Structure 1
Amino acid sequence: MADTGIPHFCNDLGVSVIEVGAREFMCIGAKPPFDHPHIFIDLGSDTEAVCSYCSTLYRYNPALKAGTAKPEGCVWADKPAA
């Protein structure tokens, strides 16, 4: 994923679980300016991890493409789409 960067996920929707299609990613909490420190999460061989700041449970879903999430509104990009 070095060519596309590390995906960033947010939880403005307030869901308890976000399914992600990546094993390495950043949790930012809410979208800026209400974000928390951006936390790098590496699932390794695990399928779930909890963000230590916002307590969002992230669950790896191999059916999702890398960098995508379910719900879709939980993917964050710091630049507008071209």
Structure 2
Amino acid sequence: MAGHRIPHFQNTAGHAAIEIGAKEFMCVGAHPPYDHPHVFLDMGHDAEKVCPYCSTLFKYNAELDDVTTIPAGCSYDELAA
């Protein structure tokens, strides 16, 4: 595990679901002081994982790099516009 970087994601905007490009990551909740304990999540063979603290649904999107996020239901093109 020390051989690669673990991305950290937060959901300050309160989206119900977020697409991410990593299957192993940390959820930190929202920006401090509204964060929660930083929890390591691993999707394994699944394509989705729910954070047990903030209930954010993280959806794996293989087209994204490991630091880009997209609120579910939006396209990357919509965010770039």
State the identity as a percent: 58
In structure 2, how many angstroms separate the alpha carbons of the residues matched to 1:2 and 1:65?
19
Distance change in 2, residues 1:4/1:68 (3 Å): farther
TM-score normalized by the length of structure 1: 0.78
Which structure 2 segments of 5+ residues have no match?
Answer: 72-81
Question: What's the CA shift string for 1:1-58, capped at 9, x where partnerless?
Answer: 8566211111111110010000100000011121100010001110001000000000
TM-score normalized by the length of structure 2: 0.79
Match of 1:74 in 2: none
Q: Give the RMSD, CA atoms, in angstroms.
A: 1.6
In structure 2, how many angstroms separate the alpha carbons of the residues matched to 1:3 and 1:64?
21
The aligned length equals: 71
Task: Name whichever of 32-41 and 62-71 sits farther off.
Answer: 62-71
In structure 1, how many angstroms separate the alpha carbons of the residues matched to 2:58 and 2:2?
21
Which structure 1 segments of 5+ residues have no match?
Answer: 72-82
